[in-house]
Amino acid sequence: MESRARHSVRQSQGRMMEMWWNYYLSLAQQVVALFDNADVLKVDADNEVYDRPGIAPNIKAKSVTIVEYQKSLVEKAKTKFANRNNITVIEGDIRRLKEILAEKSFDIVFDFSTLDHVPERDVPQVFDGYKYVLREKGMLVLITWFTTNPKTEQPEWKPTNQYFFNRKFVETELAKAGFMIKQSEPVKNAPAKDAVYSPQDYLHTLICERV
């Protein structure tokens, strides 16, 4: 039988995930509304297929392309959106976008806690790919985990790893890649004080323009 403490933590995590999901969707809808017939790149299919209606079908975009690394999620997303003509699902790695997508083919890139599943050494490559696929004045909406206590050593990469970055590092790499930060703010009420995230780690939103 599940302990009362474990059940309480699980409920807290569920409420936290629902809160984040609502925030992601609201933010995506606001950004898409700034464009006429936007072509959108959404990286990571996880929050498109599990227990939620998905962000892709709930934004008024001309087209949405979803890039996902894990084959199982690719297949689930393709099945879920099989009848949506404006949604395309591609198997791929966000560190290899130049190999699978055309240059200047999107108005918006949504990265909702996907960057923090690649190690710090690969962050510049990811940002370079985002700039490559974005049109002039295109927008990158990045939500990622920061920490006030960066780890000096990071585990060997696998797609389920969770990484936490120094905020200054990410901001510097964005500027190097050719992005101007237009808005920067922590995600409200995150993280919850539970068994997963420590108080030194926090989820943050950066809205950037390709320059």
- In this prediction, residue 12 has a pLDDT band, given cuts at 50, 70 and 90, of low
Reported as a single tens digit per residue, the pLDDT across 180-199 is: 999 999 987 655 444 455 66
Residues in the chain: 211
Residue 149's pLDDT is what? 79
Give pLDDT tens digits for 18-28: 787 889 999 99
Instruction: Count structural domains, the chain.
Output: 1
The reported pTM is: 0.88
What is the rounded CA–CA span in Å between residue 94 and residue 112?
13
Domain with residue 204: its CATH number is 3.40.50.150
Q: Residue 10: which pLDDT band, with cuts at 50, 70 and 90?
A: very low
Which pLDDT tens digit goes with each residue over 123-157?
999 999 999 999 999 999 999 999 887 665 566 77
Domain span including residue 46: 4-210
- Contact 43/91 with Cβ under 8 angstroms? no
Please say if the pLDDT value at position 104 is more than 80. yes
φ, ψ at 99 (rounded to 5°) = -85, -15
Helix residue spans in 81-201 (DSSP H): 97-100, 123-133, 167-177
Output b/e per residue, 175-186; b: 16+ Cβ within 10 A.
eebbbeeeeeee
Residues pairing with 202 in the sheet:
146
